[in-house]
Amino acid sequence: MTIHKSKGLEFKYVFLLNMDKAFNRQDSSSAIILSRTKGVGIKYVADVSVSVEDPYAPNQLRISMDTLPYQQNLAELQLASLSEQMRLLYVAMTRAETKLYLVGKGSQEALDKRQWGKSQQGRLSASLRSQLSNFQDWLYAIQAIFSDENLAYETRFVTDEELTAEEIGQINEPVLYPADDLADNRQTDDIRRALDILESVDRLNSQYRSAIELPSVRTPSQIKKFYEPIMDTDGLDIMDERASFRPQPSFELPDFGKKAKVTGAQVGSAVHELMQRIPLDSRPSMAVLRSALTQVQADEAVKKQIQLPKIASFFETDLGRLLIENSDRVRQEAPFAMLKRDDASGQEFVLRGILDGYLLFEDRIILFDYKTDKYKDSSELLARYHGQLDLYAQALSRSYGISQIEKYLILLGGEQLQVVRVD
């Protein structure tokens, strides 16, 4: 399972593999880098004549140099890419309920010899963070620099000698007791007492089932299920809807390729990343949207599913213009956590998640959430996500002490873009 697909899910034990895999920096190798604020940055390429003694050697060399605008745009692009990697690592590490395993490859001797530098204001320096190229380096740098502090994780190096069959061992399955052999089947006092204890435990489990089954951590996506109706309509309505459905003929040739089908979750993740990369200093044009889309880390098949005209039309709405006019007040992809009480058991649990975005004013907060679900009637999504937005609003209200929270759903999965206020 990819990190993007795991968003909103939780597991008892999580293994995050390939921590040493280098970040994807293909965007940084382009000869042209666009920036909304700084303009176009290009590499300077020139053919230079040189004198050589060997008559068979070439007398011209092609050199490439990074211009100053190119260097500035490259630094801006790398900062945005590293920020996205940090958000991905946060999502991955918060999927575990009991224990998290971070697995990577590396030489302990080589890692210990590296110069990790010093901390700045209680965190890794910005220059060090920009130089490191994978998750493993980030975590090892934290361990090396803050070795005197009580960190929430520990590092262990496993060598080839520890991965032998003798060291790992084998599971010895016990011989099953013959079920039909009743020769020694006698209920002693100990057995009767154990059975009484088991019956008492079963009664307690039934009585306090709500508290036992309550997880210590939940996400808004899980709690949203409580607000969804089991069936929106009765059986007769559903039968009528199917009877009125008339499939449209399709003349497309079948695709016998082995390409994986693009999922709604992939499109949703790509849209969320795209909305973060769009500059809000002015209303974005289609050229700006296409440039931002090239920076999204997704397959081309996924990017083709994103309808840029819908996103452009959002910035023509009242809410879109409000974001541009107050870009300094916009907060996007903001993680949160708060305590919530379960009504059934009366116990408290931790609720955590990531907000798509909000506008922070002195007297009110405008919360907005992007949705790419396919729909025919916006009321369907309004009913589905009403409870989830209420939880987001509670978290913001507790964090800032502001009671007036306006909630909006930005629906991108219909024929036309819709911005719906949720009361």
Q: What is the overall mean pLDDT for the chain? A: 83
- Mean pLDDT of the 333-353 span: 76
Helix axes 68-93, 135-145, angle to 10 degrees: 80
Per-residue pLDDT reduced to its tens digit, 79-90: 888 888 889 999
Could you give the CA distance from residue 129 to residue 141 in angstroms, rounded to a whole number?
9
pLDDT of residue 25: 79
Q: Which residues contact 295 (CB under 8 A, 6 or more apart)?
A: 27, 77, 80, 81, 277
Residue 410: name the closest of 389, 396, 391, 387 by CA.
Answer: 389
Assign 228 a pLDDT band (cuts: 50, 70, 90). very low
Q: Percent of the chain beyond pLDDT 90? A: 36
- Do the bridges between strand 348-360 and strand 365-371 make them parallel or antiparallel, or are there none, so unpaired? antiparallel
pLDDT of residue 201: 80
**Residue 313's CB: how many other CB atoms inside 10 A?**
15
pLDDT of residue 151: 86
Is the pLDDT assigned to residue 326 strictly greater than 80? Answer: yes
The answer to which of 22-31, 155-164, 314-323, 342-351 has the lowest mean pLDDT is 342-351
175 vs 86, 155, 172, 182, 331, CA distance in Å?
Answer: 50, 38, 9, 17, 61
Chain Cα centroid distance, residue 329: 23
Could you give the CA distance from residue 282 to residue 321 in angstroms, rounded to a whole number?
9
Assign 407 a pLDDT band (cuts: 50, 70, 90). very high
Assign 184 a pLDDT band (cuts: 50, 70, 90). low
Range of 110-124, 304-318, 345-359 with top mean pLDDT? 304-318
pLDDT of residue 241: 41
Is the pLDDT assigned to residue 180 strictly greater than 70? Answer: no
pLDDT of residue 178: 65
Assign 233 a pLDDT band (cuts: 50, 70, 90). very low
Given the structure tokens 């709690």, which residue do they identify?
A: 223
Is the pLDDT assigned to residue 245 strictly greater than 60? Answer: no
Chain Cα centroid distance, residue 315: 25
- Mean pLDDT of the 214-220 span: 58
pLDDT of residue 258: 60
Assign 212 a pLDDT band (cuts: 50, 70, 90). low
Residue spans of alpha helices (H) in 177-263: 189-207, 209-213, 220-223, 235-243
pLDDT of residue 279: 93
Tokens of 143: 């361990």
Could you give the CA distance from residue 81 to residue 134 in angstroms, rounded to a whole number?
12
180-185 LR contacts (CB < 8 Å, sep 24+): none
Residue 368: name the closest of 360, 377, 359, 380 by CA.
Answer: 359
Q: Which residues contact 303 (CB under 8 A, 6 or more apart)?
A: 270, 293, 296
pLDDT of residue 319: 95
DSSP letter string, 93-159: HTTEEEEEEE-----HHHHHHS-----BTTB--HHHHHH--SHHHHHHHHHHHTTTS--S-------
pLDDT of residue 104: 92
pLDDT of residue 60: 83
Per-residue pLDDT reduced to its tens digit, 372-401: 999 888 998 999 999 889 989 988 998 889
pLDDT of residue 129: 84
Helix (H) or strand (E) holding 394: helix 378-400
Task: Print burial letters for 83-121: b (CB count within 10 Å at least 16), e (below 16).
Answer: ebbebbbebbbbbbeeebebebeeeeeebeeeebeeeee
- Per DSSP, the three-state class of 270 is helix
pLDDT of residue 235: 37
Could you give the CA distance from residue 404 to residue 382 in angstroms, rounded to a whole number?
20
Chain Cα centroid distance, residue 216: 21
- Do the bridges between strand 330-341 and strand 365-371 make them parallel or antiparallel, or are there none, so unpaired? unpaired
Chain Cα centroid distance, residue 244: 39
Residue 212 one-letter amino acid = I
Cα three-residue angle 166-167-170, rounded to 5 degrees? 65
Range of 50-64, 115-129, 208-222, 407-421 with top mean pLDDT? 407-421
Q: Percent of the chain beyond pLDDT 70? A: 84
- Mean pLDDT of the 325-347 span: 82
The answer to which of 65-74, 252-261, 297-306, 326-335 has the lowest mean pLDDT is 252-261
Is the pLDDT assigned to residue 226 strictly greater than 50? Answer: no
Is the pLDDT assigned to residue 190 strictly greater than 90? Answer: no
Helix axes 264-277, 68-93, angle to 10 degrees: 140
